[in-house]
Structure 1
């Protein structure tokens, strides 16, 4: 069905999202709090257990599990942290979307736990980790992709790769369709 007269449908593209990301003027740092009690960081921040304890981090989500340069597992973190590892590649072919829901669920459980704070990291803290946090914000906080990106680039320099941006666009569309169906069902009742 075409949009109503005077109303224009907004369809975002990967290029639109990259332009939005390019507006970020922040410098990349080891770790930043991007949402209350959610931090995005690099592998150096993730391996600094003393620093994590000082910050009160309780959960670690490693989006580069088993990748070169990224050691980490539950035995590395011991009883001080709850660990979750996702063996993601920062590539144009990796289907990170299969991990959107499990990662969002882990972050959600972390935040619901007593004094829960979660670090989501990959090697640089730029692409994989930010993509998973964006998915969480979309799934659990009902933010659109554009709004979630706006929120994150105010707190951290991020740059999900083109493939991940396309997967997030798909998620955004799925969530909008689901919300629309839910609203239509409410009107019927």
Structure 2
């Protein structure tokens, strides 16, 4: 029978996750490939269609859609890119988790398309965008949150806010329970 201490080892806390983030020694760039054909970037690179075309980006997921300083919609990108916008706030009160599945599905579909490469961005490319990429890795690649976080911080300086980390922890628990239920059946 697992003890409380065993459970604590199994499920990290927000504080544990922040330690992983704090250990990252990378400098923040405009754009980084954090997983094969998945790029996380800031709004400046998202506005630069020439750079995106040069990188071969085919899909753009804007996690700060309609926010001040983050223009973007399908008409801005025209026929060169497939666009999906999520009007997320980088706040301690925003329920980003309602967008985890739609964002993960968009990324997955983008990568399945011929030559598919996706840019996931917000304003700085640190909190909202990275949270959605982590959710994708958890949902479609079955990575536990801590492992997904460790993979991404090897490639980019990210820092999801405490609220988003807590929402990702909830997702981690849901996916773990679902996996255990499937194994029992």
The two structures share one fold, judged by TM-score above 0.5: yes
- 1:93 maps to which residue? 93
Match of 1:34 in 2: 34
Q: Name 1:141's counterpart in structure 2.
A: 141
Greater radius of gyration (CA): 1
Give 1:29 shift: 0.4
Per the TM alignment, residue 66 of structure 1 is displaced from its structure 2 partner at its CA by 0.2
Spell out, residue by residue over 1:12-60, the C-alpha distance to the aligned partner (whole angstroms, 9 max, x if none).
1111100110000000000000000000000001000000000000000
Identify the residue that residue 3 of structure 1 maps to in structure 2: 2
Mapped partners of 2:131, 2:42: distance in 1: 14
> Any idea what the Cα deviations from partners look like across 1:97-144, whole Å, max 9, x if unmatched?
000000000000000000000000000000000000000000000000
Quick one: distance in 2 between partners of 1:40 and 1:150? 15
- Structure 1 residue runs of 4+, over 4 Å off? none
Instruction: Give, in whole Å, the separation in 2 of the partners of 1:101 and 1:18.
Output: 24
Secondary structure of the equivalent of 1:84?
strand
After superposition, residues 92-131 of structure 1 pair within 5 angstroms as: 92-131=92-131
- Classify the secondary structure of the residue corresponding to 2:79: helix
Match of 1:75 in 2: 75
| Aligned length, in residue pairs | 182
Cα distance in structure 2, aligned partners of 1:172 and 1:35: 19
Aligned to 1:171: 171
TM-score by length of 1: 0.95
2:51 maps to what in 1? 51
SS in structure 2 at match of 1:8: helix
Structure 2 SS opposite 1:80? coil
State the 1:8 CA deviation.
Answer: 2.0
Q: Report deviation, 1:69.
A: 0.3
Structure 2: unaligned runs, 5 residues or longer: none
TM-score (norm 2): 0.97
